[in-house]
Structures are given as C-alpha cells and as structure tokens.
Amino acid sequence: MRTFALLLALLPLAVAHAGYDLHLTRRTHWADEAGPRLERSEWDALASVDPEIRRDPRGDGSSYHYRTQHCSEHAFWWSEHDGELATTDPEQCGVAKLCRIAEALDASLQGDDGEFYCTPTP
C-alpha cells in the first residue's frame, strides 16, 4: 500500500513535465501571426545538402520530421502552418547546430518565452 501511495504522489511530477521548445524563425517573435516566414523550399534545399540532417522515419511518417546527427541525435520538425522549424529540449550541441541552420537561412532561434539563442548577422 505504501508503494502505491508513493507512486500516486510521484505521478503529478511525471505528468507535469512539459518540454521547452525552440523555434527557428524569421519573425520578430516566433508566436506572431504576421511577419516573414521560412519557406519550405528554402528548408528543403538546405536539408538536402547537409549530411547531418535526415528525415526521421520514426516520426509520424511525413517528411516534416527530421533528425540531426551533429554531436548527438536530436529530433526537430518543420511547421508549414508557422513557417518555422521547432524542437523540444535540445542539448547544447543541438542548439549550436540549429544556430548554424538559422544563420544559413537568415533566421533566428528563439525560446518559448521569446529569448534569442542566436540572431541573423546584418
């Protein structure tokens, strides 16, 4: 019975953890509805020549999920609706890779709260 009570007490901790997303975008704030978007053709062109990026067969089966093999494997996805790339809880090396992608696409990398991890160089 004590074990069951302990499991019930810990359940909210396991369920309450939500990931923190990073958004590779051209908008002033990633959540803005208006503003410049990344185009799918730009992303496809970059992804097709970067040997560290591959489509993720473990995603939902669409071509919208990708993985990078930079320093560790990390998943991210293309959002046609938002015109951005996004990921959840990347390691520092994944952030560095996304900053290089952002630079190549003249975009910025922002957290959910709008803070910048890297910005385009003028």
**Per-residue pLDDT tens digits for 38-75:** 998 998 899 889 998 887 766 665 557 787 776 666 78
Q: How confident is the model at residue 109 (pLDDT cuts 50, 70, 90)?
A: very high
Total number of domains constituting the chain: 1
The alpha carbon of residue 56 and the mean position of all alpha carbons in its chain are separated, in whole angstroms, by 13
Domain limits at 104? 18-118
| Residue 89 is assigned to a structural domain of this protein | yes
What was the pLDDT predicted at 5? 40
| Residue 13 is assigned to a structural domain of this protein | no
Distance CA 15, CA 4 (A): 17
| Residue 49 is assigned to a structural domain of this protein | yes
pLDDT score of 6 more than 50? no
What was the pLDDT predicted at 59? 62
| Residue 48 is assigned to a structural domain of this protein | yes
| Residue 111 is assigned to a structural domain of this protein | yes
The better pLDDT of the pair 95, 56 is held by: 95
What was the pLDDT predicted at 116? 95
- For the segment 100-117, the average pLDDT, to the nearest whole number, is 94
- To the nearest whole percent, how much of the chain has pLDDT over 90? 39
- Residue 62's contacts (CB-CB under 8 Å, 6 or more residues apart) are none
Distance CA 96, CA 89 (A): 13
- For the segment 30-37, the average pLDDT, to the nearest whole number, is 92
| Residue 74 is assigned to a structural domain of this protein | yes
| Residue 42 is assigned to a structural domain of this protein | yes
| Residue 8 is assigned to a structural domain of this protein | no
Q: Average pLDDT, whole number, for the chain?
A: 80
pLDDT score of 81 more than 90? no
What was the pLDDT predicted at 61? 55
